[in-house]
Amino acid sequence: MSPFMQSLGLKYPIFQGGMAWVANGELAAAVANAGGLGIIGSGHAPAAIVAKEIAAAKALTDKPFGVNVMLLSPHVEEVVQVVLQAQVAVVTTGAGNPAKYIPAFKAAGIKVIPVVPSVGLARIMERVGVDAVIAEGMESGGHVGSMTTMALIPQVVDAVNIPVIAAGGIGDGRGVAAALMLGAAGVQMGTRFLAAKECHIHEKYKAAVLKAKDIDTLVTGAYIGHPARVLKNKMSRQFVIAEKSAAVHDDNDFAAVEEIANGSLRRAVETGDDVTGSYMAGQIAGLIKTETDCATILQETIAQAQACLQHGVTGNYL
Ligand SMILES: Cc1cc2nc3c(=O)[nH]c(=O)nc-3n(C[C@H](O)[C@H](O)[C@H](O)COP(=O)(O)O)c2cc1C
């Protein structure tokens, strides 16, 4: 394992992506206890909820874990204060530039690792002094850029002198081995952990992830500037039709379209609502067929990655 991953106190170079409304303290602690980096997703949740989940994780593990801070959240300032006080090991950030918070995080001994969708943003993040970047391809669940993981990772690895963690479309040991071969220091998986036993999304949402085929996701929100990958369902199909219609008719009714998205992930997670709820998941959902506990996910993934790296590819040889 790379010195950077070792410095985080991990047994395995695997992050569990901080997923809004999904990745709570229990999931993060289960991943931490299993040797990976568990990350609580703060999303747009108020600071009190984030503090509660951090406390829950601390009660369940003495291993390091992280918090994902959404920089566009209306509660970002309070969430940052909660994270600073809790002195979690790692902060990952989404949706923006964490530069203004970096001195405070550093002073608290917290490593800062933003998610980036491109070489340009990775370079900017390196300049503002982050510790590493998570380069995420558009195969991933949740908010996406336009680069694929396969094309993005080696370009980011060549462009920066800080560790790169690969995310997007990684669901087993073959994906981990491939990411390491592309120069990544480790991986972040989100969709794989939606099917973890310790992940308490609504059973209908989890069943949809387990049932999904390779082509069962689509990207909503591309026209309104917030593209997000979700499973195909009534909600996501209607969303895409509505935003295309707003764009074609130039009626500037994107506010109405955004209203469809508001709270849709939370509804899916809490009530399993597949009519107005977004079942966010990545393209790798098609590979995930069983609900397994976090320890088994990590052990099987690492064993398969090691086999790939020691003995070559699995599957069809040339
Ligand atoms: C349901 C869901 C919610 C997510 N929420 C967030 C989030 O709040 N912040 C963030 O930075 N990434 C978020 N992500 C992205 C994940 O942290 C992770 O980078 C991504 O899932 C990796 O790709 P994969 O889904 O192919 O494994 C989310 C992903 C999913 C599936």
Q: Looking at ligand 1, which atom is closest to the CA of residue 201?
A: 1
- Residue 150 is assigned to a structural domain of this protein: yes
Q: Which of 19, 143, 174, 209 to mutate to test the pocket of ligand 1 (most atoms within 8 A of CB)?
A: 19
Distance CA 183, CA 269 (A): 34
The token pair at 202 is: 């609504």
Judge whether 207 lies within some domain: no
Residue 59 burial class via C-beta count within 10 angstroms: exposed 0-12, middle 13-18, buried 19 and up = exposed
Q: Can you give the pLDDT at residue 224?
A: 84
Helix (H, G, I), strand (E, B) or coil at 108: coil
- pLDDT by 10-residue block (mean), the chain, 318 residues: 95 97 98 98 97 98 98 96 97 91 96 98 97 98 96 98 98 97 98 98 98 98 91 93 81 75 92 94 98 98 95 63
Atom of ligand 1 nearest to the CA of 191: 25
Cβ pair 148, 179 in contact under 8 A: no
DSSP per-residue string spanning 256-278: HHHHHHTTHHHHHHHH--SSS--
Q: Is the CB of 284 under 6 A from ligand 1?
A: yes
Look up the CATH number of the domain holding residue 38.
Answer: 3.20.20.70
d(CA 36, CA 34): 6
**pLDDT value of residue 260:** 82
| Domains in the chain, number | 2
Return the SS3 of 219.
strand
The rounded distance, in Å, linking the Cα atoms of 21 and 57 is 15
Backbone angles phi, psi at 73, to 5 degrees: -65, 140
Residues 70 and 15 in one domain: yes
**What is the residue range of 164's domain?**
3-199+289-311
